[in-house]
Structure 1
Amino acid sequence: MKKILITGALGQIGSELTMALREKYGQNQVIATDIREADSPVVTEGPFEVLDVTDYNAMYELTEKHEVDTIMHLAALLSAKAENNPKFAWDLNMGGLVNALEVARELNLKFFTPSSIGAFGPTTPKIKTPQDTVQRPTTMYGVNKVSGELLCDYYYYRFGVDTRGVRFPGLISYVTEPGGGTTDYAVEIYYEALKNKKYSSFIAEGTYMDMMYMPDAIQAIIQLMEADGDKLEHRNAFNVTAISAAPEDFAKAIQKHIPDFELTYEVDPVRQSIAESWPDSIDSDCAKREWGFEPEYDIDKMTANMLEKLREKLGL
């Protein structure tokens, strides 16, 4: 990778990935795009363009203009929001993806897009979910992700596009606010712990899902994109994970720093049903073997860092 275009650069992943890539490859080597502008370093501290990913011509012209060699396609509607508007989710998530893949094919670019544990479903093995397994999701977001995995494989085998991707678990970050995902409670809980010393979880007690701290997620993307393609057996949708936890596990980790923190529950049936359709834990051995994936943060190390960074951010 020498010059990179990112779609959805103001989103949860994009906000931090853009800045990490600019630090690594040079400020002017990473062109950030999104459907809107915002008061963000992504916009003010490097090249930025407004882009609607459902507009193929605009995407092609912008990519050609900046002479990039890599597209990182992040623009998407997340799980809970996708259930509220499934037709729009399909149009954005799949329309944007096929446009980005077509641009990569036309201009011979390297390509990355993330999948998700949402690509799994209630018939998927729930414990140590294998890399290759049953994928029959029951949400529009999950259907989009499975379709996207297959589409990226197709563009690799049919056209030779160097497509790569990971299946992310829930991502936890202090930089961006939660954006409509089922695992957002694991971000909200830290804000509320610091502000109010209590939190009401919309996910039920005992509901385990995989999670990852954003620094590990960013490193995983960069590491995969820099890996030797000849050694990648799977290429797209590698399982990656760092933590398997339920809401009470986050509460216990927080209580080591804020002893009087209290966790209660007010379960959201929609997001709870989505969570119950996902694995309790996934197996990331293929990513470790094929390109050396290894997360740095467990729940305790992440919690300590998350609370420290949020105290600074919130001025507490």
Structure 2
Amino acid sequence: MNDTILILGACGQIGTELTQKLRALYGRDNVIASDIREGNQEMMSSGPFEIIDATSKERIFEVVEKYKVTQVYLMVAMLSATAEKHPLKGWDLNMTSLLAVLELAREKHIQKVYWPSSMASFGPTSPKINTPQQTIMEPSTVYGISKVAGEHWCNYYHEKYGVDVRSIRYPGIISWKTLPGGGTTDYAVDIYFDAIKNGTYECFLSENTRLPMMYMDDAINATIQIMQADADKIKTRTSYNLAAISFTPKEIAAEIKKHIPEFEISYKPDFRQAIADSWPQIIDDSHARKDWGWQHKFDLTSMTNDIVTSLKALEKQKLEEV
């Protein structure tokens, strides 16, 4: 593998784990991590790191030239809940960073681009069950609006200029290694931490709010898989639906109780409930499975077992270090 990869937004929830996986695959010196500020110790010590404002095309270009970058993973985004509080900042960050990278690809400075979309690109009028690859998309959040616009910009640059840009519509992503960054599905991460630490959790969504979710390991594998696929297998240049599991807060709490019987959950829906209600409950990702062989590995049971085991081991390690 002769590619040199630049990850923009490497310190985010997905970017942190994606960086380590790509460095393991391509070699530490061939994966340049970057963000607006420095990352954790593992990030900084495991390979090259550059401070980059992803809205600055000039700064991205400097780093692309310095390292002879061939691929860019643009993981920068202001997520749904945060962007609702800062709509213009959310729009500016999400769109300016994408257009900067697409322009560099159009100018032939980059050979291949990855940009993540989201199930937030769907809206209240989209079908909620088995949401198809192509359907009505009328999002009601700034984050969703920016993702729909971004999808069409990706397709435009591919059709007009031949840019090899690839994209996935992520469901909610769950990880125990990295804290979430202001999304509406964050409860499904927070619930595990609070269950281990306190034995209780107050959920900001109602108990029967069903949303599409995915364990981080599956999300990382899908991201790398679509980028490694032959170009002729990528039939969709807006963004591919991606799915693994769908569950409610009540169902995830029941699964946690199998490991922590004393765990208790309460519900206090806030402004994020309206966002969640506008999103799909189950997504049809048959196009990704057919075109480039996507398959998920983790269901709710195996994911919960992995997370609870890992967090308990982490807590034990902390106690031993005290």
Q: TM-score, normalised by structure 1?
A: 0.98
CA distance in 2, matches of 1:309, 1:136: 39
* Superposition deviation, residue 42 in structure 1: 1.6
* Superposition deviation, residue 186 in structure 1: 0.1
Partner residue, 2:55: 54
Kindly indicate whether residue 249 of structure 2 is the aligned counterpart of residue 247 of structure 1: yes
Kindly indicate whether residue 90 of structure 2 is the aligned counterpart of residue 89 of structure 1: yes
Tell me the alpha carbon deviations over residues 213-248 of structure 1, each in whole angstroms, 9 at most, x when there is no partner. Answer: 000000001111111111221134111111111100
* Number of residue-to-residue matches in the alignment: 315
Partner residue, 2:153: 151
Q: Does the 8 Å contact 1:76/1:93 carry over to 2?
A: yes
Partner residue, 1:101: 102
Q: Does the 8 Å contact 2:122/2:279 carry over to 1?
A: yes
Partner residue, 2:240: 238
Amino acid at match of 1:57: E
1:1-316 paired onto structure 2 within 5 Å: 2-106=3-107, 107-268=109-270, 270-315=271-316
Amino acid at match of 1:152: C
* Superposition deviation, residue 40 in structure 1: 3.1
Amino acid at match of 2:242: V
* Superposition deviation, residue 297 in structure 1: 0.1
Tell me the alpha carbon deviations over residues 101-147 of structure 1, each in whole angstroms, 9 at most, x when there is no partner. Answer: 11122214200011000000000000000001110000000000001
Compute the RMSD of aligned alpha carbons: 1.0
CA distance in 1, matches of 2:160, 2:281: 34
Q: Does the 8 Å contact 2:69/2:110 carry over to 1?
A: no
Amino acid at match of 2:131: T
Q: Does the 8 Å contact 2:94/2:146 carry over to 1?
A: yes
Q: Secondary structure in 2 aligned to 1:91?
A: helix
CA distance in 1, matches of 2:311, 2:106: 41
Amino acid at match of 2:255: A
CA distance in 2, matches of 1:165, 1:236: 7
* Superposition deviation, residue 263 in structure 1: 1.0
CA distance in 2, matches of 1:287, 1:100: 24
CA distance in 2, matches of 1:248, 1:120: 24
* Superposition deviation, residue 39 in structure 1: 2.6
Return structure 1 stretches of 4+ with deviation > 4 angstroms. Answer: none
Amino acid at match of 1:192: D
Q: Does the 8 Å contact 2:123/2:138 carry over to 1?
A: yes
Q: Does the 8 Å contact 1:71/1:104 carry over to 2?
A: no
Gap regions ≥5 residues in structure 2: 318-322
CA distance in 2, matches of 1:92, 1:108: 20
Gap regions ≥5 residues in structure 1: none
Partner residue, 2:320: none
CA distance in 2, matches of 1:38, 1:65: 20
* Superposition deviation, residue 45 in structure 1: 1.1
Q: Secondary structure in 1 aligned to 2:40?
A: coil
Amino acid at match of 1:12: Q
Amino acid at match of 1:147: A
Tell me the alpha carbon deviations over residues 168-226 of structure 1, each in whole angstroms, 9 at most, x when there is no partner. Answer: 00000011112100000000000011011111100111111000000000000111111
CA distance in 2, matches of 1:315, 1:50: 35
